[in-house]
Amino acid sequence: MDALSQTVAATRLTARGAKTRSRIVATAADLIRVRGVGGTTVDDVVSASQVSKSQFYRHFDDKPALVRAVIELVGERTINGERERLSAVKTFAGLQRWRDAFVANSALQESRYGCALGSLANEVSDQDAIARVKLNDLFAAWQELFEDVIHRFQRQGMIPQDVDVAQLATGFVAAVQGGYLLAQTSRDAAPMASAIDMAIAHLRLLSGEPSRVP
């Protein structure tokens, strides 16, 4: 085999390997979403993704390495989705529409599984420092999306310039995460709706508008 043929073969193997790795991670993410990290074994992932143990360990040293990859995948999905939705929010009406869609999505499957990132944080933060840092960075990125919304409101004169934007954005993330937890345990999205409504109501009070909490 000449050098060009070897390069082409190596490229194909690399592409095939990347596809296999992606399938393993996506399968693991789906299983963990339902069963949790503790309830998902390497054997479960190997079986569901239809790979061999040797293929699995070619890509991951151990289960924690797989979980970190799942965190990256879930984080990318979550942050990209929220970036798209929150980037369209420029008014309180837009924020309300975001809230309505967010709560409606949580209500699917009776709010059974909570926040994918929040669930991962709850399970692995105390056991894996690397995973904890990854999760912290993702929550910080989520907070920045809310900060962007609040900055847009400031530029339009909707809320005062001297408010603590980071603090308000942290409040939104906390409302979302607390809402997810309450909704998951009650199997009802109403507590999530109430938590987010209070965060929005606080912004409205800063703007001088009526709070409009249902």
- Whether 65 is in a domain gets the answer no
**Could you give the number of structural domains in the chain?**
2
Q: What local confidence, expressed as pLDDT, does residue 4 receive?
A: 41
pTM: 0.87
Pair (99, 161) in one structural domain:
yes
Q: What local confidence, expressed as pLDDT, does residue 211 receive?
A: 54
Rounded mean pLDDT, 186-204: 96
The DSSP call for residue 61 is: S
**Structure token digits, residue 79:** 């942050």
Pair (76, 56) in one structural domain:
no
CA distance 197 to 6: 60
- 71-125 pLDDT, tens per residue? 999 999 999 999 999 999 999 999 999 999 999 998 887 778 889 999 999 999 9
- 127-160 pLDDT, tens per residue? 999 999 999 999 999 999 999 999 999 999 999 9
Residue 119's domain comprises 70-214
CA distance 81 to 113: 18
The DSSP call for residue 190 is: H
Rounded mean pLDDT, 162-174: 97
- Whether 144 is in a domain gets the answer yes
Q: What local confidence, expressed as pLDDT, does residue 13 receive?
A: 53
For residue 10, pLDDT beyond 60: no
- Position with higher pLDDT, 108 vs 47: 47
Share above pLDDT 90 across residues of the chain, in percent, rounded to a whole number: 84
Residue with tokens 């309180």: 92
Rounded mean pLDDT, 165-186: 96
Q: What local confidence, expressed as pLDDT, does residue 187 receive?
A: 94
**For the domain that residue 175 is a member of, what is the CATH number?**
1.10.357.10
- Whether 134 is in a domain gets the answer yes
CA distance 105 to 156: 29
